[in-house]
Chains A and B, each alone.
Chain A
Amino acid sequence: MSTATGPSARGTFLGMPAVPPRSPYGTGHLRGERTFPRAAHDELGNEQLRRNLGKATHSIRAKRLDVTGELPDWEALRDAGSAIKTDTMNRLPELLEELERKVTEHGGTVHWARDGIEANEIVTRLVRRTGSDEVLKVKSMATQEIGLNEHLESQGITALETDLAELIVQLADDRPSHILVPAIHRNRDEIREIFLRQIPGVDPALAATPAELAAAARAYLREKFMTAKVAVSGANFGIAETGTLSVVESEGNGRMCLTLPETLITVMGIEKVLPRFQDLEVFLQLLPRSSTGERMNPYTSLWTGVTPGDGPQDFHLVLLDNGRTAALADTIGREALNCIRCSACLNVCPVYERTGGHAYGSTYPGPIGAVLTPQLAGMHAAKDDPNSSLPYASSLCGACFDACPVKIDIPSLLVELRHQHTEQSGTTAEKLAMKAAATVMKQPKLFTAAQRAAGLGRVVAGRSGTFSHLPPPFRGWSDSRDTPAPPKQSFRSWFASADGAAAMRAAAQDGARHTDDDSQEAQ
């Protein structure tokens, strides 16, 4: 029954008491091969990558601040976005059923996919039915997440990405490194070279300007738009009230795919549903401003089922769970499902800025990725699961929380995930050390003794008064930082000493004298 459709046999686990399943291990792109620190280490060595990223994120950041700053009701909009999303998550089962009803009423077909494996099978079956062995893709995070392109390829079906940045990544046989700007890690010259190498018949005099590069891609894609029979898209929003789906983009290539082919298959994560059509008013303001720093994105496509004689005549909506119900079942995890994938948190994140998206090993990089990925796919599916390193890939600086248009408290969610991780991972050396530290620190006598012992470190530190090399696990720290040796006297012993008492008395007298001066001056 895994690919059954219709309300009676749906494959999601909404409302069921059993622990809902996560995205299955070994499928899709929700898990890298290395832990974050290891992957980051390699990326940090790539100067070009850091320059490309630094430049791109700084310019989007500045644009975002400009266009959000000019709205007097920006904070109210964020509150509204957050409230609508919270309400949505609280009634997700009922809203999804409403969406299914409306889509069906308007001539579409709804499929429920428990996970990526099911979703891939459904899409493959639908594509086969059209007799085509080629599909056009509209940029979609959900299909990235489940590895649809790779699956289709294994089934002899070619998937062609039509979003300019996705196309660059696909042609370069690379992986996206950003939610919104998948090729953010590439600069123009690199893109020009990729095109020259991969697109047949490209003018060798192609200039490395955005306009010329976009034109070259468009020329390449044009013929495909006219001939393709089937397209696969994601969805930014699915409106329960009307059964309307929406894709928001800036190049118009998506719209070509959404209107020209005979068959349209949309794969949508179940959290993308919105209750009312009117809710778009809020999100169509929040999303473009947060993601590209534009007041409005150039193309917003909305479609409702099938319109006879116009656009695709066969429309399918695949509702994807893939770990979302598991996140929803977690009181803390459910907040992460509010995410509208605007990527504002990536663009302001100092960690993302240095490491780039590949270090996160997932379709969802950056701060929200560090939260979402472990929730969708779990942190313990494999020994030394790389996903368990993601909640620690943050300095908890809070810039993401400030930037998020739906006010997701990412730092707190990261701290919670860290807690879940330590609770699940049993006794470790770190846990023992944390316990020991707490034991010492809860007893002031022991703490004072430890301070005294630490003071002896001065002898080891030698005349410079600093340590320049520390043993593991602090070796990475001491590679680029000196550490001061504790001074002879702690604050508490100074405060309790005659010196301390004298200094405090002198300060009080000094203050009193000044106060007297002041009052005399005032007279």
Chain B
Amino acid sequence: MRIALFATCLGDTLFPEAVKSTAVLLARLGHDVVFPPQQTCCGQMHVNTGYQREPVPLVSNFAEQFGDPSIEAVVMPSGSCAGSVRHQHELVAARYGDAALRAGVAAVKTKTYELSEFLVDVLDVTDVGAYFPHRVTYHPTCHSLRMLRVGEKPLRLLRAVEAIDLVELPEADACCGFGGTFAVKNAGTSSAMLRDKMDHIAGTGAEVCTAGDSSCLMHIGGGLSRIKSGTRTLHLAQILAATRTAPHVLTEAAR
């Protein structure tokens, strides 16, 4: 299948390892992965902060870059960006776009997927041949959970990973407190939410907390780093991309 990878602006700039893992994983599963080089950002931060006029060029650029009919699927390692493309682009286009933009947005929307739903729903695989001998806990990010309804999909993928010790996260579905600019505008409340999330993570004794969104992981990871917790964060794609022949550096370090 010809898959266009959307790196997301955050993944591209700050968390390239998560995007590399996504690319490598899809290639390993036998797909033709392309990266439209003119892509930038989905505009989610703008819309969520209250700006719908400003991201029009971003929405239109997205529709243009991924509108190519030879692209069968647009896959991204982010539940919230997939949610934005599926639910917010229409909103922006309806309010400030022309007919062409509305049509473009509608066409791209139907082939846009977050990584775990693409693997499970479209490719119909749960065992991706991964190997990750560590204790891992999974945090379902709010937008994956409630906007995309990915449900058990990421957990099914994780359960199929060889040698993994997957432990349940208490109160997993509680928000970590990130919420984009919420963490800046309401930093105190956000910190209180983060603290509880970190306590729950610590309780699992996991080496790694994983999720399908680099943004939430940046938040949780930033908190864990500040309190010098032994637990680190890794994107789901990084676990799924690790194999016996090409193990994750975490595994190599443990050897």
Q: Interface residues, chain A, CB within 8 Å of chain B?
A: 36-37, 40-41, 44, 50, 350-351, 354-355, 391-399, 401-402, 415, 417-419, 421-423, 430-431, 434-435, 437-439, 441-442, 444, 447, 451, 454, 466, 468, 473-477, 479-484, 486-487, 489-492, 494-496, 500, 503-504, 506-508, 510-512, 514-515
Contacts and interface: CB of A to CB of B under 8 A. Distances in A.
A283 B7 CA distance: 46
Nearest to B192: A354
Nearest to A418: B50
Given A37-B186, A397-B179, A466-B225, A507 B146 contact: no
Contacts of B246: 506, 510
A300 B37 CA distance: 63
Contacts of A40: 186, 188-189
Contact of A479 (B29, B33, B187): B187
Q: Which applies to chain B's interface (DSSP): helix, strand, loop or mixed?
A: helix
Contacts of A506: 246
B55 interface: yes
B137 to A, nearest CB: 19
Interface of B: 7, 9, 11-14, 16-17, 19-20, 23-25, 27-30, 33, 35, 37-41, 43, 45-55, 57-58, 61, 88, 129, 142-143, 145-147, 173-175, 177-195, 218-219, 221-223, 225-226, 243, 245-246
Contact of B50 (A44, A399, A419): A419
A355 B193 CA distance: 10
B75 to A, nearest CB: 14
B146 A399 contact: yes
A486 B11 CA distance: 10
Contacts of B183: 395, 477, 481
A503 B20 contact: yes
Contact of B51 (A419, A454, A515): A419
A444 B16 contact: no
Given A350-B175, A481-B219, A487-B16, A442 B50 contact: no
B12 A438 contact: no
A441 B222 contact: no
Contact of A441 (B9, B17, B219): B9
Contact of A434 (B14, B17, B54): B54
A299 B173 CA distance: 34
9 contacts: A396-B180, A396-B182, A418-B48, A419-B52, A421-B50, A434-B54, A476-B188, A504-B27, A512-B30
Contacts of A507: 23-25, 27-28
Contacts, number: 210
Given A393-B186, A454-B13, A510-B246, A44 B192 contact: yes
A484 B14 CA distance: 7
Nearest to B43: A438
B222 to A, nearest CB: 3
A40 B12 CA distance: 35
Contacts of B29: 511
B161 to A, nearest CB: 15
Contacts of A483: 218, 222
A482 B194 contact: no
Contact of A422 (B7, B51, B192): B51
Given A398-B142, A438-B58, A486 B14 contact: yes
A481 B226 contact: yes
A422 B174 contact: no
Contact of B12 (A418, A431, A490): A490
B98 to A, nearest CB: 16
A36 B186 contact: yes
B235 to A, nearest CB: 12
A217 B133 CA distance: 60
B187 A495 contact: no
Contacts of B243: 510
Contact of A481 (B13, B23, B129, B222): B222
A48 to B, nearest CB: 14
A392 B37 contact: no
Given A415-B50, A491-B12, A507-B28, A444 B182 contact: no
Given A398-B147, A504-B27, A473 B186 contact: no
Contacts of A401: 146
Nearest to B226: A482
Contact of A473 (B48, B143, B184, B223): B184
A408 to B, nearest CB: 14
Contacts of A515: 30
Given A395-B182, A447-B40, A511-B30, A354 B189 contact: yes
A44 B225 contact: no
A494 B28 contact: no
A492 B187 CA distance: 32
A340 to B, nearest CB: 21
Contacts of A437: 45-46, 54
B194 A398 contact: no
B39, B181, B194, B219 pick with most chain A CB within 10 angstroms: B181
B55 to A, nearest CB: 6
A495 B35 contact: yes
Given A434-B51, A474-B184, A482 B179 contact: no
A439 B186 CA distance: 26
A397 B16 contact: no
A149 to B, nearest CB: 30
A451 B50 CA distance: 25
B209 to A, nearest CB: 14
A430 B48 CA distance: 13
A496 to B, nearest CB: 7
A441 B187 contact: no
Nearest to A468: B226
